[in-house]
Chain A
Amino acid sequence: KAGVTQTPRYLIKTRGQQVTLSCSPISGHRSVSWYQQTPGQGLQFLFEYFSETQRNKGNFPGRFSGRQFSNSRSEMNVSTLELGDSALYLCASSSGGGGISGANVLTFGAGSRLTVL
C-alpha cells in the first residue's frame, strides 16, 4: 500500500514568488491536513480538508491557501513568499469519517522543504 506522497521534496524560491505543493494521500483516506514545521516552533497546523471541504484552518495569513480534489489529492499554495516561509511543509492523511478528529491516526508524508531566498 503506497504511503503519503508529497511533491516536490525540495524547492528554492525567491521572495515575492508563489509556490504550490502537492500531497497524494493513502488510497481510501479522505482527510488531508497540512502543517508547517520550523525549528523551535514545532508543527503548526495550516488546514484540514475532508471530501473537498476545508473543515478547519490554523492561524496563518491569507497567503496560505489549499484545496482538495475529488480523488482526495490536495494542494497548498503560498503566494507572495516571505523569508519566514522557509520551512518543512508536511502533509498527513487519515481515514474515517471523523477526519483528523478523535481517534484517527495521522500518516505523514516525507515533506516538502521550501527555502525562500
Chain B
Amino acid sequence: AQTVTQSQPEMSVQEAETVTLSCTYDTSENNYYLFWYKQPPSRQMILVIRQEAYKQQNATENRFSVNFQKAAKSFSLKISDSQLGDTAMYFCAFSGTYKYIFGTGTRLKVLA
C-alpha cells in the first residue's frame, strides 16, 4: 500500500528566509505524480507544485521548488523568500491509480 509521511507537524520561518518541508513516500508503482497542496487558514486547498515521477528535473514554480529523489522516495518542498501569505498547512500527496494519498500535513507559520 502507498504511504506518505510528513515528519514535521509544525515549522516556522522568518519572513524573507528559506524553509524546506520534508516528505517521504512509499510505493511499488513506476508511474505516479507527486504534489504539494497548500491550505491557508479558513481557506480552500490549492495546488502549489506538481512533479512527474518519470522526470528527473525538479519542478519549480516561482518561489517554490522541489527536491525529488526517486530512489530515496523523498519529495521535499523549498519555499524561498518566505512571505506572510505562505502561512498555511502544507500537504504532500501521491497520485497513483484512481486515488490520492495525502500526508498528515506540516503547519507552516511565517513570522514578521
Q: Interface residues, chain A, CB within 8 Å of chain B? A: 3, 33, 35, 40-45, 48, 50, 55-56, 58, 90, 92, 99-106, 108-111
Contact = CB atoms under 8 A, between A and B. Distances in A.
Given A90-B45, A105-B35, A105-B50, A42 B100 contact: no
Nearest to B42: A110
A101 B97 contact: yes
B92 to A, nearest CB: 9
Nearest to B45: A108
B107 to A, nearest CB: 10
Given A108-B44, A110-B44, A100 B105 contact: no
B105 A99 contact: no
A99 B98 contact: yes
A42 B105 contact: yes
A73 to B, nearest CB: 18
Nearest to B100: A100
A105 B48 CA distance: 10
A105 B6 CA distance: 20
A29 to B, nearest CB: 15
Contacts of B47: 105-106
Given A108-B45, A108-B46, A102 B31 contact: yes
Interface string B44-56: 1111001010000
B64 interface: no
Contact of B103 (A42, A45, A108): A42
Interface string B94-112: 0111111111110000000
Interface in B1-49: 6, 31-33, 35, 37, 43-47
A45 B35 CA distance: 15
B91 interface: yes
Contacts of B35: 105
A41 B45 CA distance: 16
B78 to A, nearest CB: 20
A41 to B, nearest CB: 6
A56 B99 contact: yes
